[in-house]
Each structure stands twice: as structure tokens, then as C-alpha cells.
């Protein structure tokens, strides 16, 4: 059965993937000087075969038509070393930067992170806000689609420089230490925040940009990272952040499905996105219609859930409303007591067509290769379709266009990193750091962006989180925007354009 890991750009792990680690063989020390020299040379050769040196930073001049005008910019692929407390290099982080010459210290710079854990930044880079894009994430996209990029009209490069950072284990970024040390330094929530914050600082120093306005954008688990990085930069590194943008963020691990047998939150968070997808299929999806769904979810739905069997009328009312909102068979909804989980919804809502919906956008489907199986046995339709075009497009750009030649493997998504990740406590949440960062800096603004149809990181969780924040200027400083589409709503050009307009307003507030 496919596993649902809430909180990454991929929330499902293929059952046949297993975590593995490659350790260098240790050669016993030998007393004679000549033999010691030979052993050292052999070990160095082994290290070199595992870690071929990465190329020096490489830049090229490019241009793109963005926002109706030609933007000339410098594209750079470079590396920043990660060192431990003793100064030993333990990792190398590869980044892709797009900078417009002549902007001066007033031009903003934005650092972008994707999620997973185990996802590279290619999705925000070549799907959402970078100057070039490749199509993925929508109905009809396939692995064999051409990986040729085109100018991205919805890029943010016309109002901010962009730096896309690939955490260790993703993209071309890599650890230089053994698996146990790798997990300790890179594959856990807190160390991840600490070293990535230092990478941001090191890039600013390297490029002389400490005086520039600084912004952060994070998608999915990147939405977990960014609030914490903002506070880490403020309070530990010594860098202020003007604003953050959270794209389909994973903000509250404790609110996910299965978190508690009594809480109505998991069902309240998923239902509105199911309803949005159903209304979209019927051509009835509007912000006003969703306001009514949200009001029902926070009111009668939650009350009827808590009544349970003590009130048969409440149960019947619940089943009727959920059936109407989701479009599922009433008998099925009744068997589930009105509590429809995402996995069941995605399997059943398209069953008559022999298809399965994506957890990232339930209206993006693929044929079910095992339609008669009691349990789902295939991976996510969007996830399986996007690996090929994004990987091919990014590697082609880096190695051929930029000329940053390497034989290293590029990881758009690393299941190994995801499986090795230490996720900490279930209640380990970035909302606390988000509150502290905002309270600490009255000039810092926050934009939270979601797609209506996303069941991996539903918009309703962010709606509830924002509404529970203390009232210290939140109304005009923390904004929630929801667009047609799913987790990668920006794959739809209209939603991408609206997202860009709303982001530009945050930069120019």
C-alpha cells in the first residue's frame, strides 16, 4: 500500500524503494612508511571516485521575455561549502542564481527552497518563478514530454534576483561524510535549518549583497523551512528578512490525518479541497462558493463530527453534506461515517473512469494499472510524470547551456533522503518561529499561497493557522491567497500570473 507522508513535495514513497547507504571501505593501517603512503593513495582514489570534484562556478549571459519586456540577466551555477564546527568541509551545496546587472543595493534578492524532504529547487525554478520554464503538473503532462524550456512570463526576475538552493542530497548538492554523519548534519529538521541559513549568509557575503532587501520563498516542506530559516537568520546569523512567501506550505505536522482519533481537524482540513475539486469538475468553483464551504466546515460539519453516534440526525446530516460536497457515493460516505480520507477520495472519485487522482491536484489523473486491487498499488500521477521533464530540463540547462560540466547524478527527488530524514516530534511546527519572526520585525510581511485542489498540503490548515495568530498587525502583514489548481497551482498560467501579481504587491508594500 502506498504510504502517505504529509509534508513534502512528494508525500508518497514507492513501496519498492529502500533506504541505503554507501560507506567507503577502511583499509587497516600498516606500520611501514611506504605501505602507509600506498594505503593513503588508494583511499584518496576511492574518495575521488565517489566524490569527483565539482566544477568552478560558471556564469553566462541570458535574456527572457518577462512581463512583456526583455530582461537581460546573468545565470550562475555555483557551489557553497558546508563546514562543521572545526572548519572541516562536510558538504557542498549547489545553487542556481539569476541576477540582473546594475540593480544596485536596492534590488531585492530572493532565496528559494523546495521541500520533500528530498526535493531539489527545480520545481520553483523551472515551474514557477525562474526565467525559463518547462511544463509539468497539469492534466495530460507525461514523462515523454519535451524537456525544452521556454521564457516564463510569470517569472519574478523582473522585480527580484533569484537564488535557487538545493539542499544536500538533492540536485547536485552532496554530503562529503559517511551516512551516519550525513544524517546528523543534514537529514534532520534542526540541522537542516542551521546549515541552510548559513548557506544564505555565505551567498550574500560571496556576492556582496548584504545590503540588499532579502526575501525567502519555500514550497511544501520548503514552507516548513522558510519561517524557521527567517527566524534563524534574524536571531542567530544576523540577517534581516523583508518578507517570506510560503507556497502550498507544510506548516503543522500535528494536524494531519491520523494525528488523533478525536480531533475533527484532519477531516476539516481535507474536506474543503475535496469540495473545491468537485465544484471545479462541475464548473462551479468560485471564491464565494468556497467561502460557504469553509463556513460549513468550521461550523456545522465540526459540530456534527463531535456529536457522533449520540445524535443520529447529526450523522445523517453529516453524510448528506459530505456526499454533496465530494460527489462520492452516499453508501460509501455513510460507511466512513462522513470522514473521507484523502486516499479513499482519490481512489474512488475517478473509479468509474478507471483512473486515480493525484494528491497534489485531485483533478489530475492517470489510469489505474491495478483497478481491481483492494488497495492502491501505483505512485502519484503528478509525481511520476514530472521527474523526467524536470530532471532532463535542469541537467541540460546546467551542463549544456551554462557549461557547468559534471558527471555527478542529479536528484530532482531523492527517496533515499526522504526515508532517512529524522522528522522530530509530531508537534514540531514552524508556526512558532513564524510568530516570533513577525513579532520581532514589524516590517516583515508574509504571503501564504495555496491551490484549492491540493490534498497534500490543504489550504484549510493555513486558513485555521492564520486565524489563530495573535493580533499584532496580522491583517495586513500575513496574507492567504488561494488559486485554481493544486499543490503546483502555478503550472496553470492564469494561476501563475495571479500568484506573481500578489507576490509583487508584497515586495512593493
DSSP structure string for 420-465:
H-B---TT--THHHHHHHHHH-TT-EEEEEEETT-SSS-HHHHHHH
Long-range pairs of 465-469 with CB within 8 A, sequence gap ≥ 24: 465/251, 465/252, 465/431, 469/435
Written in H, E and C, the secondary structure of 41-69 is HHHHHHHHHHCCCCCCCEEEEEEEEECCE
Among candidates 229, 247, 251, which has minimal Cα distance to 125?
Answer: 247
Query: Which is higher by pLDDT, 509 or 258?
Result: 509
pLDDT on residue 148: 85
pLDDT on residue 254: 61
In a domain, 150, yes or no: yes
In a domain, 398, yes or no: yes
**Average pLDDT of the residues in 229-250:** 95
In a domain, 406, yes or no: yes
**Average pLDDT of the residues in 449-453:** 96
Per-residue confidence at 303, pLDDT binned at 50, 70, 90? very high
In total, how many domains does the chain have?
1
Mean pLDDT is highest, among 140-149, 269-278, 383-392, 461-470, for 269-278
In a domain, 262, yes or no: no
Q: Is the pLDDT of residue 3 over 90?
A: no
**Average pLDDT of the residues in 315-338:** 94
Per-residue confidence at 5, pLDDT binned at 50, 70, 90? very low
What does the block give as the cell for 363? 483533478
pLDDT on residue 393: 92
CA atoms within 13 A on the CB side of 491: 24
In a domain, 49, yes or no: no
In a domain, 310, yes or no: no
**Average pLDDT of the residues in 74-96:** 95
The model carries a pTM of 0.85
Print the domain residue range for 463: 58-254+386-507
Gap between the Cα atoms of 212 and 402, Å rounded: 26
Q: Over pLDDT 70: what percentage of the chain?
A: 86
Mean pLDDT of the chain: 86
Backbone angles phi, psi at 97, to 5 degrees: -120, 140
pLDDT on residue 140: 67
Cα separation values, 331 from 18, 320, 422, Å: 38, 10, 40
CATH number at residue 465: 3.40.50.1820
Q: Is the pLDDT of residue 242 over 90?
A: yes
pLDDT on residue 139: 74
In a domain, 374, yes or no: no
Query: Which is higher by pLDDT, 51 or 167?
Result: 167
Backbone angles phi, psi at 425, to 5 degrees: -80, 150
pLDDT on residue 257: 52
- If you ran DSSP here, which 8-state letter would residue 360 be given? S
pLDDT on residue 122: 94
Q: Is the pLDDT of residue 435 over 80?
A: yes
Per-residue confidence at 138, pLDDT binned at 50, 70, 90? confident
In a domain, 351, yes or no: no
pLDDT on residue 47: 42
Query: How does pLDDT run across 471-489, given as a tens digit for each residue?
Result: 765 667 899 999 999 999 9
Amino acid at each position: 500500500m502506498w504510504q502517505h507522508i504529509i509534508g513534502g513535495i512528494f508525500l508518497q514513497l514507492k513501496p519498492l524503494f529502500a533506504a541505503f547507504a554507501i560507506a567507503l571501505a577502511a583499509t587497516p593501517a600498516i606500520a611501514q612508511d611506504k605501505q602507509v603512503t600506498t594505503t593513503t593513495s588508494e583511499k584518496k582514489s576511492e574518495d575521488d571516485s565517489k566524490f569527483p570534484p565539482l566544477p568552478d562556478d560558471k556564469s553566462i549571459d541570458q535574456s527572457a521575455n518577462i512581463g512583456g519586456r526583455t530582461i537581460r540577466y546573468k545565470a550562475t551555477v555555483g557551489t557553497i561549502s558546508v563546514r562543521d564546527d572545526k572548519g572541516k568541509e562536510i558538504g557542498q551545496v549547489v545553487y542556481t542564481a539569476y541576477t540582473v546587472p546594475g540593480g544596485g543595493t536596492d534590488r531585492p534578492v530572493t532565496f528559494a527552497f523546495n521541500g520533500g524532504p528530498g526535493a531539489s529547487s527545480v520545481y520553483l525554478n523551472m515551474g514557477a518563478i525562474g526565467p525559463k520554464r518547462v511544463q509539468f503538473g497539469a492534466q495530460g503532462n507525461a514523462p515523454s514530454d519535451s524537456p525544452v524550456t521556454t521564457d516564463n512570463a510569470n517569472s519574478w526576475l523582473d522585480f527580484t534576483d533569484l537564488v535557487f538552493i538545493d539542499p544536500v542530497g538533492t540536485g547536485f548538492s552532496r554530503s562529503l561524510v559517511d551516512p551516519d554523519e550525513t544524517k546528523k548534519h543534514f537529514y534532520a529538521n534542526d540541522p537542516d535549518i542551521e546549515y541552510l541559513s548559513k548557506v544564505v549568509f555565505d551567498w550574500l557575503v560571496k556576492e556582496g549583497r548584504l545590503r540588499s532587501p532579502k526575501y525567502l520563498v519555500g514550497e511544501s516542506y520548503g514552507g516548513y523551512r522558510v519561517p524557521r530559516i527567517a527566524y534563524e537568520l534574524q536571531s542567530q546569523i544576523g540577517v534581516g528578512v523583508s518578507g517570506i512567501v510560503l507556497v502550498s506550505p507544510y506548516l503543522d505536522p500535528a494536524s494531519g490525518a491520523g494525528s488523533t482519533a478525536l480531533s475533527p481537524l484532519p477531516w476539516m482540513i481535507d474536506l474543503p479541497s475535496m469540495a473545491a475539486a468537485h465544484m471545479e469538475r462541475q464548473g462551479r468553483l468560485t471564491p464565494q462558493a468556497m467561502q460557504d464551504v469553509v463556513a460549513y466546515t468550521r461550523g456545522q460539519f465540526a459540530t456534527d463530527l463531535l456529536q457522533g453516534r449520540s445524535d443520529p440526525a447529526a450523522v445523517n446530516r453529516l453524510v448528506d453534506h459530505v456526499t454533496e460536497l465530494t460527489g462520492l457515493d452516499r453508501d460509501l460516505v455513510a460507511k466512513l461515517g462522513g470522514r473521507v480520507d484523502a486516499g479513499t477520495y482519490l481512489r474512488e472519485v475517478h473509479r468509474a473512469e478507471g483512473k486515480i487522482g493525484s494528491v497534489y491536484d485531485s483533478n489530475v489523473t492517470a489510469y489505474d494499472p491495478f483497478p481491481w486491487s483492494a488497495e492502491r498499488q501505483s505512485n502519484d500521477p503528478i509525481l511520476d510524470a514530472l521527474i523526467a521533464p524536470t530532471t532532463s530540463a535542469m541537467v541540460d540547462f546546467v551542463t549544456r547551456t551554462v557549461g557547468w560540466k559534471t558527471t555527478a547524478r542529479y536528484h530532482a527527488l531523492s527517496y533515499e533522503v526522504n526515508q532517512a530524514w529524522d522528522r522530530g516530534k509530531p508537534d514540531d511546527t514552524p508556526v512558532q518561529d513564524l510568530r516570533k519572526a513577525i513579532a520581532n520585525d514589524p516590517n516583515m510581511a508574509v504571503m501564504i499561497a495555496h491551490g484549492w485542489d491540493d490534498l497534500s498540503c490543504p489550504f484549510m490548515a493555513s486558513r485555521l493557522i492564520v486565524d489563530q495568530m495573535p493580533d499584532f498587525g496580522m491583517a495586513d502583514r500575513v496574507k492567504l491567497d488561494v488559486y485554481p489548481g493544486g499543490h503546483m497551482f502555478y503550472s496553470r498560467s492564469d494561476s501563475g500570473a495571479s500568484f506573481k501579481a500578489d507576490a509583487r504587491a508584497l515586495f512593493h508594500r
